[in-house]
Amino acid sequence: MQKGGFLKSITFNRFILLLCGIYIGMVLFIHSRLQTDRQPQQIDNDSKSEYQLTEQLDLSDLKTWVNNKKELNQLSKEISDLERKVHQAKKQMEGLKKQNENPKSSNCLQHGNESVKNSNFKILEQGVYVFSAYLDDRKPNVFIRLMVLLEKTKKKVPIFCHINSVIIIAKQYEMCENHNKPFGGYIYSCELPRNMSNPCPLRVSTVYASSVSSDVALPIIPVKPLSKPQEFGICISPLFGSVKKEKIVEFIELSQILGANHFYFYDNNISAEMKMTLNYYEQKNIVTVVPWDLPTVIFDNKIWYHGQLIAHNDCLYRSMSTLEHVLFNDIDEFVIPHTSAKYWKDLFPSVFKDQYCGIAFSSAFYDPAIGVTHPSGLQTMSITGRTKLFSHVRTKIMVKPQRVFEVGIHHVSKQNEEKWSVQKFKPELAYLHHYRKCIGNYGMKCSQFEKDTTIFRYYDELKDRYDFSMKIINKLSSALSPNVTQKVV
C-alpha cells in the first residue's frame, strides 16, 4: 500500500467520526482511572455511602482520642496541683493545731487563770497577730474586744469575728502610745447581735469566708465578775532577761503590805530563777504569770518596750473580773501614802465613789547613789534620798478597770463612759517612789535631793515577810543547775 493510502481512502466524515470515538474512549478511560484511584472500594451508591460513614467515624475517633489525651494531661496536672495543695494544707493544719487547742466550742468562755494557758500571739496573716479576746458587756451593746498586734502597713487589713454562721467585721481602735514603731497595739471590737446569747465558738480571721486554714479559734474571757473581786492588784510591765530574786520578793512583799491582793506578770523570756520565784507565789494564788512571747519577726526596735502598751491593756481587761482597783507600775516602783493613812484601803477607795475612773500619782526618783546600805539589805530601806522635785509627767495610775476602755503608760487614754474622769493626787497625800537612777528630762533636776524615811514604818513587817519567803525560795533556787550562770540586774 502506498504511504498515506489509508487516510486518503477514508472520507472526511468518517475521519471526523473516528476522532470523536477516540476522544470519547480516552475520556471514559481517564475518568475510570480517576475514580479507581480515589475510591477503589466504591462499586455502587450503597458501598459509597458505607465508605463515607466509615471515614467519618475514623476521623471522629481520632479527634476524641486527641481530646481525651489533652484532658488526661490536664487532669494529671490538676491532680499534681491538688496533691501539692493537700500537702501544704496538712503542714498548715499541723502548724495551726497547737495555736487552735482551745476549749470545746460550747465552752469557749474562760475565767481567771483558766485562760492563761491559751495566752499566746496567734497569726492571722503575716504582720497581724491576735493575743486575746474579752466579752465586754459593760454597755447595752455587747462587744468582743480583741487585743491585736499589728504592723503599720497592715492597718487596712480587715478582721472578722466568726461565731457559728454569724460574721461580724471588727472595728479598729489604735492604742495611744505606739510611738510610731513598725508594730503597735490595737483593740478590735466585734459588736454582737442583740439576740445572741452565746458567743461561742469564736473564730477570728482576716477573710470573710471562714475556713480552718485561715481562722484562729480563741477562748473568750468575760469582764463581768463571777464573784466579789479582790480590792487591789498590780499589772506589771513585761519582764525580760534576769532580775535578782531578792528584788522581786521585796517588790511583792512590800506591795502586799500596802494592800495588793494579786499581781499580773508578763513573761517575756525571763530567767529560770525568775520563773521559779514567780512560781512560788503562783502556788499561793498571789501571782498570775501570762506568757508574753512576741512573734519572732518583732525585734526590740520594731515595737515600743517589749509591747508594754498592749500588755497593759490586756491586763486591764484580764483584771476586770477579778479586781476592784488596778495599779500599773514596774517592780522598782511603789505608791506610798504620805499621810497618817498607812495602807491603800484607808486612802483610795473613797476616791472612786465619786465621778472618777482613775488616780494619777506624781513620782519622785529615789537614786541609789543617795543613801546608805541598810543592814537588812532591803533596797527600799537603803535608798532614802529622793529628788526634791516631783515629776508630773512620769505619773503612774491606779484605775477602776470597769470604768476604763484603754490605758496608756502614764495616763488613762479613754474612759468607758465620758462621765468618768481622772483625779490627780496631791504628792502630800501619796506619790510614786521610783527606785532608780535619776533621769534629768521633762524638767527634772537630778542635783537636788532631800531625805525621806517614810518607808521605815513598813520595815518590821516587810523584814519578817521578806525573810520568810527568801528562806523558801533560796531552797528552791539551790535545786537549779549550778552550771547555769546568768547576768542579773
- State how far the alpha carbon of 396 is from the alpha carbons of 235, 236, 241, 256, in Å: 11, 12, 23, 18
Closest listed residue to residue 237, CA positions, set 181, 276, 292, 295: 292
pLDDT tens across the length of the chain (489 residues): 444 455 455 566 666 767 766 767 676 666 555 554 444 444 455 555 555 555 555 566 656 755 776 676 776 667 766 665 554 445 444 434 433 444 445 568 887 667 787 789 999 999 999 999 999 999 999 999 999 999 999 999 999 999 988 999 999 999 988 778 899 999 999 999 998 888 989 999 999 887 766 789 999 999 998 889 999 999 999 999 999 999 999 999 999 999 999 999 999 999 999 999 999 999 999 999 999 999 988 887 889 778 899 999 999 999 999 999 999 999 999 999 999 999 999 999 988 888 999 999 999 999 999 888 999 999 999 999 999 999 999 999 999 999 999 999 999 999 999 999 999 999 999 999 999 999 998 889 999 999 999 999 999 999 999 999 999 999 988 877 555 445 445
Fold designation for 106-222: Immunoglobulin-like (2.60.40)
Q: How many residues does the chain have?
A: 489
| Domain range list for the chain | 106-222, 230-478
Which secondary-structure segment (H or E) carries 414?
A: strand 412-415
Which secondary-structure segment (H or E) carries 398?
A: strand 391-399
Instruction: For residues 410 and 475, give the distance between their C-alpha atoms in angstroms, rounded to a whole number.
Output: 38
3-state secondary structure 104-133: CHHHCECCHHHHHHHCCCEEEECCEEEEEE
Instruction: For residues 219 and 222, give the distance between their C-alpha atoms in angstroms, rounded to a whole number.
Output: 10
Instruction: For residues 65 and 201, give the distance between their C-alpha atoms in angstroms, rounded to a whole number.
Output: 52
Q: In 3-state terms, what secondary structure has residue 356?
A: strand
Helices (H) and strands (E) in the chain, counts: 8, 24
Which of the 8 DSSP states describes residue 384? Answer: -
Model's pTM, two decimal places? 0.77
Q: Which positions ≥6 away from 139 have C-beta within 8 Å?
A: 416, 417
Which secondary-structure segment (H or E) carries 310?
A: helix 308-319
- Pairing verdict, β 412-415 and 404-407: antiparallel
Fold designation for 230-478: Spore Coat Polysaccharide Biosynthesis Protein SpsA; Chain A (3.90.550)
Could you identify the residue written with the cell 529628788? 387
Take residue 196 and report the three cell numbers written for it. Answer: 445572741
Which of the 8 DSSP states describes residue 194? Answer: T
pLDDT at 309: 94
